[in-house]
Chains A and B, each alone.
Chain A
Amino acid sequence: MKPNHHPEGYAEIGQQWARRAFNTMFWAMLMMLVLGMLGIASEYTSMGSAWAAEEAVNLSAGAPEIQTVDYPKIGFSSRSVVWIAAQMHLFFAAFVLAVPLFVVVIEWIGVKSGDERYDDMAHEFMKVSMTAYSITALFGGLLAFALFLLYPHFMGYMTRVFDTQMLWYALLFFAESAILYIYYYSWQALRYGNRKWVHLSFGIGLNVVGTSLLFIANAWATFMMAPSGIDMASGAVTGNIWEIMRGPLWNPVNLHRFIANIAFGGAVVGAYAGYKLLSAKTLSERAHYDWMGYTSNFIAVLAFLPLPFAGYWLMAEIYAYSQQMGITAMGGILAWLFIVQAVLIGTILLASNYYLWSGMSRTEGSLRYQWMIKYIAVVLVLGFLVWVTPHTLILRASEVAALGGSHHHLLGPLGIMPAKNIAVNLMLIATFLSFQLYRRSDKQVTVSWAAWGNAFIVAIYLIAILNIIFAGIYYGYFTNTVYKVGSSVTQVVSTLVVIVAGVLIDSFMFKKAKILPSVWGQVSNRSQYALFALPVAFTWLMALMGYVRSSVRTHWHVYSVVKDNSVDNYIPAIGYAGNMMTIVTVLFLLCILFIFWIASLSNTKQIPPIKSEGH
């Protein structure tokens, strides 16, 4: 593939860069080889440990019975310290693991299309994540110190269970760091020709290592929720490391976090683009960041759409593992927070839709579709209102009298899950429609079967919507609980069919479409605030869901195995938890703004002082 324009001086410094790149690659390969061999050795060691369990004296020890006095006291809530450190580490880790995932895809699109703007954008995304990487490590260190200091017995048990796996996790961080720095700093050196494929390979390697880190860390969290590979009565290790990691919730959490991270990462770099657009001094700068913001929103929404389905799988597995745990999350004292979740997801959907509608002003081709926006908005608002309707209300006596009873006649049918399942599926379909219309705005279809294609898509939409409403009403209100849960699978499948069919049919229909002119940068400043609403809501949502995931363990560090006897062993009320979520979200926002500033600083160059005569 030939580049569009050769950087000045590239040929002259090519040999020098090639030598450096070779050296870098050599050391990176050597390090990966060593780490790989160590990994194989570890696997054999673990297997050996399992086969010779009677010899593993330290692993046969059971779970500790920790008393309240065993927890070190530092004058303020240990749980709050760990809560903040863990949440900050998770925010940044999610961000830095997600960015390379879509950066590699964008880079590859740049290679395939020959459009260097993709390459520049991918590089700029990486620049934003580089500072975040250091902050991730700082919070990770803080979290580890806090855990070992404040919960030594529990961490002692976890270390015993996971054994050397924790060390391999740390070593993988070295590999991650090495490949990340090579990937980022060799960007210009390995930009064209075959070297680009080498660079892309580093990107893939970075993501393999990054995703492995994610999955390893997830194993600790899911072991605490649903332990495996141990004797449940004593807590003694009975299985090998693979059996310990492969608990019933590991894969659902892996999938859920993997997708959520991409949506979160897309939202954060979208905010960066929005910030840069609002600060842009030139039209070309504005156009560049408008395009960058659009791409980020595209990534965030695309990853967000299947997220509820991954969440559904996770909750189904939690119910299958322990009905009691599932009910604690969905029907116990945590049930109220799903009202907050509805507000957050409503914010995300409304903001991303608003951004798409605003973006349609970039091209006149969108005039064909603008009449539909008001209907989509109605569906979104109604869906949001249904979703946020509680089942019960806490009322004063006067309010009960005014209402005519403690249960408003609308709360019964609208406050339960069948109504909410209908609402959320229709909101997702409406969001996908916005997305589809936006994608079509700058294209004029040329295929002869366009009318049939459109009719087919409309039919799919209609059948899916009718199916979602029918399944929700019939199974939700006229059958028992078992069928209620089963009906949501039908609804999810209907929504997925719309998304997959819409993408597939459009890709064939618009393959050779006539492209209509789009003016990047021709978008309102107001629309950019949607790009800030997304990461704020995503960050708060991640904190909220983390609170649920942790709280379902109730008064256990490791569910059913290591009891939490600390003074903080209760599930905090949603108000207190909400305040904690706001604290971590604000901290994260301040850090992110710092990162944006640092990323901009690297482009700032001081003008050399003018030497006065005589010097």
Chain B
Amino acid sequence: MGTLIRVLGFSLGLTLVFSLVANLLPQVEGEAPKDEVIDMDSLDMDGFVSFGEAVFAGKGTCTLCHNDMGRAPDLLNMDVVKASQDRLEDHRYVGQASSVEEYLRESLVAPGEYVVVGFGKKGSNDSESPMPKVDAAPIQLSEFEIDSIVAYLQAKDGHEVTVALPTLPEEEESLTQPVAVPAAPVAAATAEQALAQYGCSACHSVLSTESPVGPDLRDVGSRLSAAQIRQSIIDPMAVIAEGYPPIMPTSLVDQMMVSELELLVNFLSNQTQ
């Protein structure tokens, strides 16, 4: 009986250790996508773009591959509209699109029409795309959701949104239930606007404001290169300036558009006081 108790105790103890490790890790649940309900009557373009951003990161599962891990083009850190124009002119393009809007929509429902070099299916010599068609299972985006993603991809870098704002189809009356849609981000037109929009002066001395919390940005161009400034915005924890606390928000990269980032980098690179 003694052996049995010792063996049982050892085995149960070990099992509980494994369980403890599992419970110490970040607890995240993978929610099944839910159909959003939109108040079509009050839907404006900003709301539509915001909805597209939510679909891009959520139901569309686009960010699973389109990130900085190198499995697919990093759409969040590139000017998608400009890239689309280049691809339309590329001799490898075999699709039917003649505008950026058409190309973006086509790339979602027929991703094989143009495969970016280096991102094709293994062994296909970049002739076959590993991307699923988003209007088919398992993603199954509706036409409305696809249009919203196209609108978001156009808007995110400050380009004009050419997608027509959808109107209420008769058969989709269920969509008329109201839901809160966050306001769409509007790209800053100047570096000053971007500095104000992202609250940089709250911690940094810049332009006419002074703050001792973070490093002085009025001479940052003489201390850091453009690449270092870009890195300090995208990944502020990569290098912590000596004598300052590591409190700069890391979420700027998720909120900022590429055009805004470049505006700031250019502006700050020239700040040599």
Contacts and interface: CB of A to CB of B under 8 A. Distances in A.
A536 B12 CA distance: 9
A141 B130 CA distance: 40
A394 B246 contact: no
Contact of A347 (B11, B14, B238, B247): B14
A589 B18 CA distance: 15
A589 B12 contact: yes
A407 B131 CA distance: 31
Contact of A480 (B22, B27, B70): B70
Interface string A503-541: 000000000000000000000000001001100110010
Given A327-B71, A333-B28, A401-B246, A536 B11 contact: yes
A275 interface: yes
A578 B25 CA distance: 10
A554 B32 CA distance: 7
Interface stretch (B1-9, B165-173, B203-211, B216-224): B1-9
Contacts of B8: 589, 593
B21 interface: yes
Contacts of B95: none
Given A324-B61, A332-B64, A575-B27, A481 B18 contact: no
Given A232-B137, A554-B32, A320 B11 contact: no
Contacts of A572: 29
B21 A339 contact: yes
A571 B29 contact: yes
Interface in B18-59: 18-19, 21-23, 25-33
Interface string A477-505: 00011100000000000000000000000
B69 A575 contact: no
Q: Is the interface of B mostly helix, strand, loop or mixed?
A: loop
A211 interface: no
Interface residues of B, number: 47
Contacts of B14: 347, 532-533, 536-537
A340 interface: yes
B10 interface: yes
Interface stretch (A53-61, A364-372, A422-430, A557-565): A557-565
Contact of B237 (A324, A334, A405): A405
A555 B32 contact: yes
B238 A482 contact: no
Given A537-B14, A586-B12, A340 B25 contact: yes
Contact of B25 (A232, A324, A575): A575
A418 to B, nearest CB: 13
Given A404-B246, A407-B238, A554-B138, A573 B7 contact: no
B70 A574 contact: no
Interface in A112-143: none
Interface in A382-409: 394, 397, 400-401, 404-407
A551 to B, nearest CB: 7
Interface in A450-485: 480-482
B186 interface: no
Contacts of B196: none
B250 interface: yes
B16 interface: yes
A323 B67 CA distance: 14
B28 A582 contact: no
Given A575-B22, A582-B18, 8 more contacts: A324-B65, A481-B71, A540-B18, A570-B30, A575-B27, A576-B27, A579-B19, A582-B15
Interface of B: 3-4, 6-8, 10-12, 14-16, 18-19, 21-23, 25-33, 61, 64-65, 69-71, 118, 121-122, 130-132, 136-138, 237-238, 240, 245-247, 250
